[in-house]
């Protein structure tokens, strides 16, 4: 990620059009489970399709769901029993987090991406799925403009510190060492990613986009998580939710 990276909440024109097409394609599927998606976003059943087809209302719903997700995940990490509806979702936390990241990308609310994507990356790393962890790490970093905000800088550096562990476990000791030395140069703790709410030490330097020009290749195929990946994930999510719906025998509109 270079210094001229576009602001996190603004897509380039071609990307904007692609995201519009991806949204429309998902919503126009005859089997799109509006009610289940609405339940995940905390929407009333009768408002599901109307809300999801209205970008501004959908973004507001996604923002509310992200806030609820973060609160529920904080409670989980603190060892408290889940009480909110989102915490009781069978896919909570990782699957719910992935769905919210996908929604935030597709509905172009990228400012909501970093906190959720970082937590999803942690979950995947703890589960041993390093390629997925690296993809979500890349998505954290790509959603943050270097030096724009100290809190966002902290999340970007936390993602970079997590990448050290990911590369070590994946057997790339040389790549992990390069990033670790970059973290040390910028006075960033190697274990910053372990903090639920990471913050930077006073003598740290602003996020600059990573150790390598253009960022660290996040997967073995050297491609970041893109809107195509999110679209594919959303399609898979739709299929999974339809199977769950049929298994629960909720009826065609459930």
Quick one: what percent of the chain has pLDDT higher than 70?
76
Q: Which of 83-87, 116-120, 142-146, 244-248 has the least mean pLDDT?
A: 244-248
pLDDT recorded at residue 198: 93
Average pLDDT over residues 147-176: 90
10 Å CB burial of residue 224 (0-12, 13-18, 19+) is buried
| Cβ count within 10 A of residue 244 | 15
Residue 207 CB burial class (10 angstroms; 0-12, 13-18, ≥19)? buried
pLDDT grade for 127, boundaries at 50, 70 and 90? very high
| Residue scoring higher pLDDT (184 or 217) | 184
Instruction: Work out the number of other CB atoms within 10 angstroms of the CB of residue 198.
Output: 21
At residue 1, the pLDDT reads 37
Mean pLDDT of 17-39: 82
114 pLDDT band, cuts 50/70/90, is very high
Average pLDDT for 55-77:
94
In whole angstroms, give the CA distance from residue 134 to residue 7. 22
Decide if 4 contacts 212 (C-beta within 8 A): no
Please tell me the least confidently modeled range out of 35-39, 107-111, 161-165, 229-233.
229-233
Is-contact 34 49, C-beta < 8 A?
Answer: yes
| pLDDT category of residue 20 using cuts at 50, 70 and 90 | confident
pLDDT tens digits, 193-220:
999 889 999 999 888 876 543 344 444 4
């Amino acid at each position: 990620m270079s210094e001229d990276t576009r602001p996190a909440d603004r897509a380039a024109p071609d990307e904007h059009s692609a995201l519009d097409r991806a949204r429309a394609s998902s919503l126009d599927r005859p089997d799109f489970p509006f009610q289940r998606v609405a339940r995940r976003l905390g929407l009333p059943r009768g408002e599901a399709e109307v809300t999801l087809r209205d970008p501004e209302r959908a973004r507001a719903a996604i923002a509310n769901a992200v806030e609820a997700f973060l609160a529920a995940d904080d409670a989980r990490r603190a060892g408290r029993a889940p009480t909110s509806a989102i915490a009781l979702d069978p896919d909570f936390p990782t699957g719910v987090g992935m769905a919210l990241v996908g929604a935030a990308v597709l509905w172009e609310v990228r400012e909501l991406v970093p906190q959720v994507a970082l937590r999803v990356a942690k979950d995947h790393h703890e589960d041993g799925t390093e390629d997925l962890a690296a993809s979500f790490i890349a998505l954290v970093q790509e959603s943050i403009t270097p030096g724009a905000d100290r809190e966002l800088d902290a999340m970007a550096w936390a993602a970079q510190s997590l990448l050290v562990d990911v590369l070590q476990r994946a057997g790339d000791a040389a790549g992990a060492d390069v990033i670790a030395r970059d973290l040390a140069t910028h006075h960033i703790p190697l274990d910053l990613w372990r903090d639920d709410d990471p913050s930077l030490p006073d003598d740290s330097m602003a996020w600059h986009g990573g150790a390598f020009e253009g960022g660290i290749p996040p997967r073995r195929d050297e491609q970041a998580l893109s809107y195509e990946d999110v679209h594919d994930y959303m399609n898979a999510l739709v299929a999974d939710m339809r199977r769950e719906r049929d298994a629960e025998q909720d009826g065609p509109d459930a």
